[in-house]
Amino acid sequence: MIPDSKVENWLREDLGHHDVTNDVPGETTGRLVAKEPGVVAGLDAACAVFDYLGVRAERTAEASDRVEAGGTVLRVAGPAREMLRGERVAVNLAGHASGVATKTRRAVTAAREVSDGVAVAATRKTTPGLRGIEKRAVVAGGGDTHRLDLSHMVMVKDNHIAEMGLTGAVEQFRERASFATKVEVEVERPDEAPVAAEAGADVVLLDNMPPEETATAVANLREHDDETLAEASGEIGVEDVPDYAATGVDVISMGSLTHSADTLDYSFRTG
C-alpha cells in the first residue's frame, strides 16, 4: 500500500504552484499503452496516483506479466482535468519500474541458461524515495530483493575489516546483532573466503572478482564449508551473468538492475 503522503509529494513536484496546462473540463477515459515489449511493474504506484486524484483505475495486466508493443496495461476513467494532472507521474513511475523488471528478467533468464539454483539479487543502489517501487519491480522480474535496508543484514565491509580485522569485525557485529540477523562478509581475494566463513559469516561476498577468481573463491570456500552462501557482486552486467552463474555462487547481486535500467516506453492515450 502506497501512502497518500508519498503520492502527494510526487504530484506536488510535477504540478508546481499553478497548473494551467491541464484545465480541461468534463469526463474522459484513458489507457496506458506499452510502446515496446517488456515486463510489467509499477502499476500499484500508477493506480495510487489516479486513485488519489479521484480517477478510477483498472489494471489490465499484473506485475511480472510480459507485455508486447501496443499492449494496454491500465485503463482509467474520470474527470479529464485530474486524469491529465496524474498521467505523467503515473507513466514515469510505471515506465521506470517496468524497466527495472525487464532488465531483471533478462538477467534471470541469462542465469537460468547456466544454473537453475543461482539467485539474481538487487542491491541498496536505489533511487531515494523509490526503493519500495524498485525492489518490487525486481521481484516482478524474477529477482531477489536482497536486504531492503541496513537493518536487514549486517554487512562487514572493507572499511570495517581495515579497522578491526576480519575476525574481529565479525565478532563485534555478532555480539550486537539479533540471533535472527545474518552476517555477510565482503572479501576481495579468493583465499579470504574460507577465512570469512570460519569467522562466522553466513554469506561471503566475493567483491569485484572476475569470474575465474570467483570460481576459485567458491572452490576454496566449499573445501571448508558447505553451508555458507557465496555471493558475487561488483560491476556485473547482464552480459556477465552466465560467466558468474557458472562459478558455483549462490547469489549474483547487481546494482545495475536499479541504477542503470532503461525506462520501458509507455504512452498515455485519452479518449
Give the predicted TM-score (pTM) of the model. Answer: 0.92
C-alpha pair distances (Å), 138 with each of 40, 108, 146: 11, 10, 10
Residues of the domain holding 73: 4-107+261-270
Residue 55 and residue 172 in one domain: no
Residue 102 and residue 116 in one domain: no
Residue 33 and residue 147 in one domain: no
C-alpha dihedral, 166 to 168 to 172 to 178, nearest 10°: 50
Is 256 within 8 Å of 236 (Cβ atoms)? yes
Single out the catalytic residue among 6, 103, 125, 157: 125
Rounded Cα gap, residues 141 and 46, in angstroms: 18
Residue 214 and residue 254 in one domain: yes
pLDDT at residue 197 in the model: 93
Place of cell 492515450: 269
Rounded Cα gap, residues 19 and 83, in angstroms: 13
pLDDT by residue, tens only, the chain of 271 residues: 788 899 988 888 877 766 666 678 899 999 999 999 999 999 999 999 999 999 999 999 999 999 999 999 999 999 999 999 999 999 999 999 999 999 999 999 999 999 999 999 999 999 999 999 999 999 999 999 998 888 888 888 888 888 888 888 888 888 887 887 899 999 999 999 999 999 989 999 999 999 999 999 999 999 988 899 999 999 999 999 999 999 999 999 999 999 999 999 999 999 8
pLDDT at residue 35 in the model: 98
Residue 144 and residue 250 in one domain: yes
pLDDT at residue 22 in the model: 65
Residue 124 and residue 254 in one domain: yes
CATH code of the domain containing 15 = 3.90.1170.20
> What does residue 243 show for φ and ψ, rounded to 5 degrees?
-65, -40
From the number of C-beta atoms within 10 Å of its C-beta (0-12, 13-18, 19+), residue 246 rates as: middle
Residue 131 and residue 74 in one domain: no
Residue 51 and residue 94 in one domain: yes
Residue 128 and residue 149 in one domain: yes
E strand residue ranges, 11-54: 27-34, 38-39
CATH code of the domain containing 144 = 3.20.20.70
Total count of domains within the chain: 2
Residue 13 and residue 27 in one domain: yes
Catalytic-residue membership of 182: no
Place of cell 510489467: 40
C-alpha pair distances (Å), 213 with each of 54, 228, 244, 249: 56, 18, 10, 12
Is 25 within 8 Å of 81 (Cβ atoms)? yes
Residue 92 and residue 137 in one domain: no
Is 53 within 8 Å of 82 (Cβ atoms)? yes
Residue 153 and residue 251 in one domain: yes
From the number of C-beta atoms within 10 Å of its C-beta (0-12, 13-18, 19+), residue 9 rates as: exposed
Read off the C-alpha cell for 248: 558455483
pLDDT at residue 221 in the model: 96
